[in-house]
Structure 1
Amino acid sequence: MSEKLQKVLARAGHGSRRELEQVIAAGRVSVDGKVAQLGDRVEADAKIRLDGHAVQVRSQDEMVCRVLAYHKPEGEICSRKDPQGRPTVFDRLPKLKGARWVAVGRLDINTSGLLLFTSDGELANRLMHPAQEVEREYAVRVFGEVSEEQLQALRTGVMLEDGEAAFDTIKPMGGEGLNQWYHVTLKEGRNREVRRLWESQELQVSRLMRIRYGDIELAKSLPRGGWEELNLTRVNYLREMVQLPREQKTLITPEKKLSSARAKVKKAKIRRAVRRHTENKTRRVKK
């Protein structure tokens, strides 16, 4: 049975369907030796190439949906490559054979925190779709005097350049002087939306971190620049949330409750791996 070309490419991990529609429209994909057109459907035995490289076509049954939780540091961008040579969120991720990690949304260069990646482009596409209304939670440090009137405006809605927006919840978390922390939630991922909402009240965001995506929280044990693979239960939580069939396979061993000593060892290993990656990248830049 034939399938849409962008769906086949997304399942192979070459991007979200939205991204791949642009790739196809740009003439970068060929099917059986002919340049593909947007809207093309392909059979299971089709010979597909992306930028001249053969694409390994797999059926849904052959794929294993994998998801990573990554602790993005400030200073990294969410593109695969950067003309300015800045570090990207893809630099530290484990390599995949015959597929690529697809980021579930983006965080801007000055925002840190939880960023999900998956090997299943269809899952990424559905999680990012506005209709799913997946709740995101952010920890925000705001500089300036914040009045109850300003908070009420942010709850009820303010007009931004791309339409009305509001926080679903705002929870004060304390702070010192004019630097106050808040936890805020919303169900959409417009560009720089959290910052723009606060700026609409003439308030400055001095720190911003995403701490939750749906029910997936940023683990306190995960250092900046570190990643962990989600177990089958959490992968299927994400899949069921966007009406995809449950995954039956996983490439990680069942989780066991770690002793406090073993948990510290695991955390130390992650930190060493992050440090080695940073040191190696610094050496390459100096050369």
Structure 2
Amino acid sequence: MSEKLQKVLANVGLGSRREIEKWIEHGRVSVNGTVVTLGARVEATDQIRVDGRIINLNKRKSVCRVLMYNKPEGEMCTRKDPEGRPTVFDRLPRIKDGRWVAIGRLDINTSGLLLFTNDGELANRLMHPRHEVEREYAVRVFGDVKEQDIRKLTQGIKLEDGMAQFKQVKRRATVTQQGSDEDSLNQWFDVVLTEGRNREVRRMWESLDYKVSRLIRVRYGKLPLKKRLPQGAWVELPLEEINYLRETVQLPKETETVLDEKKAQLDHVRLSRMRRSVKKHKLVQQGVKKTPKTRQGRS
């Protein structure tokens, strides 16, 4: 039985369906010697090439893996940036088969929880709006936010690409601190939404004339950002949390893991090693040391 080409390639871990669709549009994929267009379907016996390289569809599917990364501000959610800016892929561990696929994106000025997987189908389903996976953000807003505007944000705001709304908006308790007048005008909110359109959180606040001065993703589905995980560091998720994500989007459970959970604990020794690695990587990016890019680890 034939299947969509982008689904077949995602299933062998080459990337997300969206990423592969772009490859097809750019003429990088051929089937049986003919460059194909979007919408092509393939059989198990077809020969598929990407950039001239034959793709083995019969190889054993890799064990599903998921990383949680604490993204700092200033990093791009792309594999390579033409301006040479750092990307979220720079510090991820190398894998033998397939590649890491980002589950959604965070813009350059947003920090916090970002997930990666080597399973393109899992990434595609988690990003699809029909599954309504919750994303929670901590938002610092400049200005005196009125209760009537909070109601508008939960009832629905019309943006240029359609209606958008927060599932929940919760004002954080204000802590009085000494500081500038500008600091006193900042308020923190926790907001929840179930889709991931480009800059959606910022655009919703901006539509009501509020400026977002800080934005941090703190939860994806039921998975909170790991406590004490340094910015710029990653941790591999255990089988239980991977299967939570798979069950959320109606994929069968994974039965194997490459993770040694005892070694994966965020204890003092591992956290210290992470912080040193992140600091060293920043120095390399700034050109302080002429050494290859460092990585937190390989696997």
Aligned to 2:13: 13
Are the aligned partners of 1:30 and 1:49 in contact in 2 as well (CA < 8 Å)?
Answer: yes
Task: Select which of 220, 224, 229 maps to 1:222.
Answer: 229
| Stretches (4+) displaced over 6 A | 284-287
Q: Matched residues in 2 for 1:40 and 1:146: separation?
A: 50
Structure 1 residues 285 and 3, CA, compared in 2 at 3 Å: closer, same or farther?
Answer: farther
The one-letter code sitting in structure 2 at the alignment partner of 1:237 is Y
Q: Matched residues in 1 for 2:159 and 2:262: separation?
A: 44
TM-superposition CA deviations, 1:57-88 (whole Å, max 9, x none): 355x5321111101111001111111111111
Question: Could you tell me the TM-score, scaled by structure 2's length?
Answer: 0.87
Whether 1:282 and 2:286 are equivalent positions in the alignment is: yes
- Where structure 2 has 5 or more consecutive residues not aligned to the other structure, the ranges are 177-183, 292-299
Whether 1:246 and 2:253 are equivalent positions in the alignment is: yes
Are the aligned partners of 1:12 and 1:58 in contact in 2 as well (CA < 8 Å)?
Answer: no
Are the aligned partners of 1:71 and 1:227 in contact in 2 as well (CA < 8 Å)?
Answer: yes
What's the secondary structure of 2:97's corresponding residue?
A: coil
> 1:121-270 counterparts in 2 under 5 A?
121-175=120-174, 177-255=184-262, 263-270=267-274
208-217 or 40-49, which deviates more: 40-49
What's the secondary structure of 2:270's corresponding residue?
A: helix
What's the secondary structure of 2:254's corresponding residue?
A: coil
168-177 or 96-105, which deviates more: 168-177
Deviation at 1:187, TM superposition (A): 0.6
Q: Matched residues in 2 for 1:181 and 1:77: separation?
A: 25
Aligned to 2:25: 25
> 1:42-121 counterparts in 2 under 5 A?
42-44=42-44, 46-58=46-58, 62-121=61-120
Deviation at 1:131, TM superposition (A): 0.4
Q: Matched residues in 2 for 1:284 and 1:15: separation?
A: 34
Are the aligned partners of 1:11 and 1:119 in contact in 2 as well (CA < 8 Å)?
Answer: no
Deviation at 1:286, TM superposition (A): 7.3
The one-letter code sitting in structure 1 at the alignment partner of 2:7 is K
Are the aligned partners of 2:62 and 2:97 in contact in 1 as well (CA < 8 Å)?
Answer: no
What's the secondary structure of 1:62's corresponding residue?
A: coil
The one-letter code sitting in structure 1 at the alignment partner of 2:281 is H
- Where structure 1 has 5 or more consecutive residues not aligned to the other structure, the ranges are none
What's the secondary structure of 1:283's corresponding residue?
A: coil
User: RMSD of aligned C-alpha atoms?
Assistant: 2.2
Deviation at 1:219, TM superposition (A): 0.9
187-196 or 151-160, which deviates more: 151-160
Aligned to 1:271: 275
Q: Matched residues in 1 for 2:58 and 2:112: separation?
A: 32
Are the aligned partners of 1:75 and 1:109 in contact in 2 as well (CA < 8 Å)?
Answer: yes
Question: Could you tell me the TM-score, scaled by structure 1's length?
Answer: 0.91
Deviation at 1:274, TM superposition (A): 1.4
Q: Matched residues in 2 for 1:81 and 1:257: separation?
A: 29
203-212 or 44-53, which deviates more: 44-53
TM-superposition CA deviations, 1:252-281 (whole Å, max 9, x none): 1234796xxx71111111111212222223
Deviation at 1:169, TM superposition (A): 0.8
Q: Matched residues in 2 for 1:21 and 1:263: separation?
A: 41
Are the aligned partners of 2:126 and 2:133 in contact in 1 as well (CA < 8 Å)?
Answer: yes
